[in-house]
Amino acid sequence: MAFPVNQLRNDFPILSTQVHGKPLVYFDNGATTQKPRQVIDRLVQYYETENSNVHRGAHHLSNLATVSFEGARNFIAQYINAQRTEEVIFTRGTTDSINLVASSFHSFIQKGDEVLITAMEHHSNLVPWQQLCKNKEAHLCVIQVLEDGMLDMPVARKMLSPKVKILAFTHISNVLGTINPVKELVAEAHRYNIPVLIDGAQAIAHVQVDVQELDCEFYAFSAHKAYGPMGTGVLYGKSEWLNKLPPCQFGGEMIDQVSFDKTVFNKLPYKFEAGTPNVADVLGMETALRYLDTLGIKNIQQYEDGLLEHATSSLLKIPGIKIIGRAKQKTAVISFIVEGIHPYDLGTLLDQMGIAVRTGNHCAQPLVESLGLNGTIRVSFGLYNTLSEVDYFIDSLKRAINMLL
């Protein structure tokens, strides 16, 4: 059965937008995805019929909101195959999730210890660990990336040792599209009892995420990368680790008992959810993941792989283009440069033709600079993109190149 992309496009109101008099072609899904009507309607429904603060309320609306909120947690736990519902912590997104772990990890890092990351990390999975190492006089160690966009696995294995207190790496590179060998890296780290955090921001909408199969200690993702609202996301953590980590934010909800002398913190997951939660957007995130679940993430991946293959082969026929990142295992992201043309200039011309792409270092400056570049043009596909859009992009790109050369 063919993937019903034309039918699905009707679910996304923004796709009917005109940009500079041209139909919108949205190829910036790596930055954020558009939202289906189902998600938008869920936000409206909450504020019109359920709006109330959750937990401990004795009145009808509070009970209603609490049931919906905790129901979302239960579904999301099932969606990523967490062993326990309380292993799902609601956060503001991937960045917030990673910062939560890094901030709470202080007591597990001593002077001279090592934190291991990769050279392809988004700043969100680099800077928190860099600052932790700086504060604790520990060492930030970096697994390098090979020319094809894959990790140097033989070197990675040699870098793992009892000195490493946590391994943090991205599931899928937001620049290269590389799908990292997650299970292999986790298994290698566990030989030394090293906990593993995975940045799943670019994975959650494109590949199946099964945290028990991956066996990672922590997994972080954002709703807005998966057709949900901005400003909310998830930190999954194995309960044994979440129970060991101290909370890094304090206030309402995350306490059990308080006196002027001492505080007893709440149980999981509430220990890490200080303050009033973003209830509406959590419900929107649940709706978005249900949307993906109905379509089937493997069906989505297969369809997006077709877009990737068609776009890649078409780009390689254009003189002067170099694709950055040619890993065998890759998802629907293409970063490229055109000889003699600045990425921003091309991005600006493509925008005039109605095409949204991303230019720059994509919040992965060390990676881009290590490749000898000052930026790339990035196209990133979603489930509503079409082959005809790819063809229009290729034709428009040729026109833009001719204008600039």
**Under 8 Å between Cβ of 116 and 159:** yes
If one counts every other C-beta atom within 10 angstroms of the C-beta of residue 131, the result is 14
CA distances from 287 to 32, 177, 228, 380 (A): 16, 26, 8, 23
The predicted pLDDT at position 57 comes to 77
Active site residue 363: yes
**What SS3 state is found at 401?**
helix
239 CB burial (10 A radius; 0-12, 13-18, 19+): middle
Is the domain spanning 40-294 CATH 3.40.640.10? The answer is: yes
* Type of residue found at 327: A
Element (DSSP H or E) covering residue 234: strand 233-237
Question: Which tokens sit at 265?
Answer: 């913190």
- Whole-number pLDDT of residue 331: 95
φ and ψ at residue 282, rounded to 5 degrees: -65, -40
The reported pLDDT for the residue numbered 342 is 96
Residue of 133, 141, 248, 363 marked active site: 363
User: End-to-end distance of the chain based on CA atoms, in angstroms?
Assistant: 44
Cα–Cα distance measured from residue 270 to residue 251, given in angstroms and rounded to the nearest whole number:
11
Instruction: Tell me how far apart the alpha carbons of residues 27 and 91 are, in angstroms, rounded to a whole number.
Output: 27
Measured CA to CA, the distance from residue 161 to residue 159 in angstroms comes to: 6
Of 382, 260, 392, 394, the C-alpha closest to 8 is: 382
Shared fold status for 5-30+296-404 and 40-294: no
Percentages helix, strand, coil for the chain, rounded to the nearest 5?
45, 20, 40
Domain layout of the chain by residue ranges: 5-30+296-404, 40-294
Residue for token pair 């254009």: 318
The whole-number pLDDT of residue 267 equals 83
CATH number of 5-30+296-404: 3.90.1150.10
SS3 178: strand
Weakly modelled stretches of the chain, pLDDT under 50: none
pLDDT score recorded for residue 319? 96
Q: Write the single-letter amino acid at 323.
A: I
pLDDT digits (tens, 9 = 90+) for 193-247: 999 999 999 999 999 999 999 999 999 999 999 999 999 999 999 999 999 998 8
What tokens were used for 139? 């060492």
